[in-house]
Structure 1
């Protein structure tokens, strides 16, 4: 059987991992594209044994890059979340961890040329329309992955990739509070439905019988909790104007609890059918915004800073993540921007092969 070879760069971006493709090397048709990504990742098996996925939602993510034709934007970043077992591809969300590898990958692919000791790359997240400024370390005009920056959930240190997110409010729904309320009650549980970088349903851990300090493994084993959470998430998705979200990874689900390790607030993040082992970049912005907004389910769980910018330290199962939030409170909470520092590393490059019966390659 003939196979089709597709060039790729295999990257760790933040606490996620996956193939980064040139969009021009993939099929334009969305249905065919989904089948190609399913084959590449190996979706349909818990170990992704017939592809390069890692058997977890954080290792079955895909980035597709192209030069942007939009003024002021260097790279268009199109994201796909491929399921581990269900042979599904969701093109609705974006991923901030994978985004942290977009700048380095664009340089690796020759889509961007390094400029000085630090190269600024303006990125448009195609899925949501958000704009991000990435600052990539290129000392002497050469891309480097070596550095002293450590992030929770990744061993060792690497070169920092600074990300500044703009225009993230209402990224998917068009509204900061897509249900129209600071709080909604669903199945007897108070939640805040918020859309900052990623639409989320956020509750207090205690209201769902949890401490908020559980490990990802312990949470994944609690299927009764997941059944209850999913029912709340599906109804919240309807109230947020997202329709039937039973087969979509958005909105994501998050839980809050008082900090216990010196951070601002303790958090748990769900993808949504598994617990995240650490924290999503997009989710961190939404959770930090919820924590800062008076009247949300975060009330009483932290001492809020009165003025911005403020560094919000989110505790999560693997450590902490710092979110620098620029906001004002003159007429309620208004988010200007959110910034984080992540790391990325190239793991491999070459060609990935998919069966020719799925796609024969570019015409």
Structure 2
């Protein structure tokens, strides 16, 4: 045997895609697991030519599922971000877009049963401890992929997957504001460091000489901006108690600007070494929380209603986040955040890796 076959589903989840795997079909040891995922995705080449990755950070993501032993959850979701070119795997963050496909994938894999009409699946995000309820359309107890829901960044409509995120505060750092401050100044740039669903460093686009309305391609070509941003991100990571983050995709970085297309605020999100073509679901929750918290860099009008709908303008359109929160003396308390995404099964079968990396035992 020269290759090891691993069963997989290949799915689009939100505006990302990648393999969805049964955790039981993979090595337990994380170092070996990382090598398996690197080989599977083809990390180490800009086109991922020797794997099933797509040459972009949004297409080199992996979901690993198992039945949960948690009293609340049905499914455990373990996420891995595989780098495109650097042969690195980051198990620290989670991904809300890929999570959009977890419910459908769990049913397809036989890890949970579909109900008539729609099925609610409680998911524990293993990486961060967040709890997420996903409602999947299941007419005739089968996952429905066709539908009329549209999300910006995906060309066609599909069946909606409703997500409700809970326990998202401090998953990586233990605190809503990891530095203890609403605003910190790093290298002359004012930033808000916040940990809601995803630890982030958020700055005003104008402080970097940006409008905040640039396309993803325009930003990716701005090497001077990326160098300045990365310097700020590394120092912010240390201030947030995350240590040396030079080889980690977290904390992520975001910039904000006044809305210009009817949204609450204009945003751009970084992964962090490339511009996200749309918006991360986890990042959207953190940015929405930043908007709702008085005294941050967001400088956006705060809605009066609770729960509040925050509309983030991104590089490919908009995303809405429904945030249930309570104001406190010096900020807010996040109860939950809701979003609607879509997912689609693209392929199923076996993906092969060299047996020299892992023989399947």
Tell me if TM exceeds 0.5. Answer: yes
Aligned partner of 1:244 in structure 2 is: 244
Aligned partner of 1:201 in structure 2 is: 201
Rounded to whole Å, the distance in 2 between the matches of 1:124 and 1:98 is 14
Instruction: Compute the TM-score of the two structures, normalised by the length of structure 2.
Output: 0.99
Q: Partner of 1:344: helix, strand, or coil?
A: strand
Q: Partner of 2:268: helix, strand, or coil?
A: strand
Verify: 1:314 aligned to 2:312, yes or no.
Answer: yes
Q: CA deviation at 1:328?
A: 1.6
Verify the 8 A CA contact 1:307 1:328 in the aligned structure 2. Answer: no
Verify the 8 A CA contact 1:100 1:343 in the aligned structure 2. Answer: yes
* Residues 279-308 of structure 1, C-alpha deviations (whole Å, 9 max, x = no match): 000000000000110000012xx2211241
Rounded to whole Å, the distance in 1 between the matches of 2:308 and 2:327 is 12
Verify: 1:357 aligned to 2:356, yes or no.
Answer: yes
Rounded to whole Å, the distance in 1 between the matches of 2:306 and 2:207 is 30
Rounded to whole Å, the distance in 1 between the matches of 2:355 and 2:305 is 57
Aligned partner of 2:17 in structure 1 is: 17
Q: Partner of 2:4: helix, strand, or coil?
A: strand
Instruction: Compute the TM-score of the two structures, normalised by the length of structure 1.
Output: 0.98
Rounded to whole Å, the distance in 2 between the matches of 1:329 and 1:92 is 29
Q: Partner of 1:153: helix, strand, or coil?
A: coil
Superposed structure 1 runs of 4+ greater than 3 Å apart: none
Verify: 1:253 aligned to 2:253, yes or no.
Answer: yes
Q: CA deviation at 1:330?
A: 4.2
What aligned pairs does 1:1-363 form with structure 2 within 5 A after superposition?
Answer: 2-299=2-299, 302-331=300-329, 332-362=331-361
Q: Which 5+ residue runs of structure 1 have no aligned equivalent? A: none
Rounded to whole Å, the distance in 2 between the matches of 1:45 and 1:272 is 18
Verify the 8 A CA contact 1:40 1:354 in the aligned structure 2. Answer: yes
Residues 34 and 83 of structure 1, relative CA distance in 2, 3 Å threshold: same
* Residues 297-332 of structure 1, C-alpha deviations (whole Å, 9 max, x = no match): 012xx2211241011100001000000011122433
Rounded to whole Å, the distance in 2 between the matches of 1:132 and 1:330 is 24
Verify the 8 A CA contact 1:122 1:134 in the aligned structure 2. Answer: yes
The number of residue pairs the alignment matches comes to 360
Q: Partner of 2:116: helix, strand, or coil?
A: coil
